[in-house]
Structure 1
Amino acid sequence: MTEPVVIGSERSEVGLPAAMEILLSGGSALDAVETALRRCEDNLEDHYVGTGGLPNARGEVELDASIMIGSSRAFGAVAALKGYPNPISVARAVLEKLPQHALLVGEGAAFFAQECGFATADLLTDEARRLWREALGPSVESVEGENTAAGAGDEAYRAASLELVRRLAPHDGPWGTINVLALDRSGELVVGVSTSGYPYKYPGRVGDSAIAGAGNYCDLRYGGAACTGRGELSMRAIGARAVVERLALGDDPESACAAMLTDAATLPDEFRAELRTLALTFDGRHGGAAGQVGSVYALMTATSAEPEFRARRVV
């Protein structure tokens, strides 16, 4: 029997105790990952996942999530989902109820969520709206008003907004996608990812979190991996899959994560921002890497009273 382990990126500690409770009772890694990420998505203090996530450049919250099972490499994901507070559960429903597909986006993802009976919610909280307005400045007020035809001033505002999107950085404080990786007593390994994406992004932008091989990958023969940070870099480097390939070659989890980040750093990118990654193996070994000193990940084992924190290797 395998000893249960669950790890997660920064801020996943909100959900890890609930995940470990499931694992200790003999529950599945799939249930544990979904439950942990739902807790994170429902955390109104976190503005990078679920309800309260920071909106795109039009002031609309769009959510991405995915989940992958190591034994079958079955994958379910949603992207640019509006109005549904728990995209990880909708992603799991894609995996289980719509196995002929792996990824649904936008209106199609919302239609599927409605078909499945998921509850809707207003995802843009007052706090997230305030942060959005402060970041975009006083001119954001021009977004509101009567439904009139766009004029020259509107077009000038749109052009200025696009330039603003190019240079905006996240607000101060913890930020980024949340990853959760779990190994259950049966030996199953599952990886889940949830995010509201880069704040103030272009409407319809989808990052790595909903893309198999980029933000999420899981192969029970070797391990699972997930990424946070600059999603476009992870997509170009096929980040999570690259980490698992290094595990297959015999690298330890920390070294596998560092190797992927080293490769991603060679890609030209005028919008470069930090990329981080985590890995968990089929036999319970784990590790992570990041580009900043002090970066950590959260961990719980069968003997943990609460989430513990481990340093990531700095690349």
Structure 2
Amino acid sequence: MLIRRGGGIPSSEITPHSLYLRRREFLTGAAAFAFAGPLGSGPAAAAGMQAAKSPFSTTEKPTPLSDVKSYNNFYEFGPGKADPAANADALTTAPWRVSVEGLAARPGEFDLEDFMKPYALEERIYRMRCVEGWSMVVPWVGFPLAEVLKKAEPLGAAKFVAFESLSRPEEMPGQRGLFQLLDWPYVEGLRLDEAMHPLTILAVGLYGEALPNQNGAPLRLVVPWKYGFKSIKSIVRIRLVEKQPPTSWNKQAAGEYGFYSNVNPNVDHPRWSQATERRIGEGGLFAKRRPTLMFNGYAEEVASLYSGMNLQKLF
């Protein structure tokens, strides 16, 4: 049972307790070894993207681009918020291949350019809520995941969609060394109806430019009514499966991070309240907190997906 806690988000903002302890080990042990130097050709140059405006966009003011690019969780590049921006330039994003496999009549493996080619790009300005209690508003560029799945023709036994991120320790310093924060590769999953929902997109850009490496280049999932860690970055594999797939944070701490991880102000994390949030770009740690919206403000669109479910138990 999750217990409501009073007070604000701790200033560590907020690495889960188990990772906090492991991070201390990591920092203690860092002097004993050195990371290998970065390999690869570096990030692809940002390019302008033509994208149609979407009626699904919020009218809220977007978070400044500088904050979106500099304040991230991407543990493959380190545990700190600034680590992805500092380290992700080592990631080679071209060439990039994506496989669609599993319970599908038309599986395949594609170069990213061919994978994207059939789909018209849209700008989707979405709220993004982190499980740690902070939020952003991001103008993503992408296309509906449903279009990809329809093209793959899911078989009748397919009930879930599993995602897998890149594992490349030579370019991702958080994946190498003696103290690992998570099991790699990072994996995530959605129920098939969640994946097919019109709000669920695959993003290839933000703010009209190619997706920066630290934000999940070159291809990431965006599910705006769920906590941000569900929106897996740097995707290389999409699988249609029959049974609920494992997910990285649920494997790490099942009592803290459920499979669904819908934004819910009434279901607290065991160690902090989810009732309010701090919007990045609005005054730092001491900014006035705002109420957390059910399903991150997308309840009208998605609440029916969970009709009859106990959202306290299936968090």
Determine if the TM-score, normalized by the shorter chain, exceeds 0.5: no
With the length of structure 2 as denominator, give the TM-score of the two structures: 0.25
